[in-house]
């Protein structure tokens, strides 16, 4: 964990669907024009994900309507076998293509009932993406790990005003999971 970030920047409780401030979660975000702004946004995203957990977080979730998200993927107690990606920041990303091969897995979100609600969502197994890092360097990448691809698609959706519930098939709502013990507000 980057101790400088957590000391200087305070985490932001993610905005929630169904609230006035959560309306931002259903709006398309604007591009970042200034990479100093990108660095500042990434600092807040980092502090927030380190405090509240999760494998990804997008700027709209902390009240910033800009096209920035981060992932922080590493094996955990819940997912011991996932491939470690570590921390990656995506600024002004564009998904260029999605694989036709898909999988369905359980997703949750820090902005959906404080991460207590989970449901099955189908996503592409791999993708090609173009993005900038916070320093302004352009990257073109192919993500072939299905879990990493899932997280990137989930966070990219946030930049376009879409939450995972909108990606669920109607028949999958019967299998939705709720666990109040996961409420991120308990970490404050």
Q: Give the burial class of 134: count Cβ atoms within 10 A of its Cβ; 0-12 exposed, 13-18 middle, 19 or more buried.
A: buried
| Cα distances (angstroms) measured from residue 82 to each of 13, 18, 55, 111, 137 | 26, 32, 11, 23, 28
Residue 100, token pair as written in the block: 């036709």
* 155 tagged catalytic: yes
Radius of gyration over every alpha carbon of the chain, rounded to an integer in angstroms: 16
Which one is catalytic: 21, 101, 155, 171?
Answer: 155
Catalogue the active-site residues. Answer: 155
């Amino acid at each position: 964990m980057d101790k400088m970030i957590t000391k200087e920047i305070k985490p932001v409780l993610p905005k929630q669907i169904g609230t006035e401030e959560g309306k931002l979660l259903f709006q398309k975000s604007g591009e970042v024009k200034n990479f100093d702004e990108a660095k500042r946004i990434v600092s807040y995203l980092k502090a927030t994900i380190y405090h509240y957990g999760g494998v990804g977080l997008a700027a709209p979730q902390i009240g910033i309507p800009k096209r920035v998200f981060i992932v922080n993927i590493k094996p955990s107690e819940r997912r011991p076998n996932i491939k470690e990606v570590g921390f990656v920041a995506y600024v002004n990303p564009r998904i260029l293509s999605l694989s036709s091969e898909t999988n369905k897995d359980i997703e949750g979100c820090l902005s959906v009932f404080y991460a207590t609600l989970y449901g099955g969502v189908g996503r592409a197994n791999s993708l090609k993406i173009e993005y900038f890092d916070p320093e302004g360097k352009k990257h073109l990448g192919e993500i072939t790990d299905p879990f990493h691809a899932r997280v990137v698609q989930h966070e990219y959706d946030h930049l376009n005003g879409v939450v995972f519930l909108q990606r669920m098939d109607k028949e999958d709502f019967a299998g939705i999971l709720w666990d109040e013990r996961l409420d991120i507000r308990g970490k404050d």
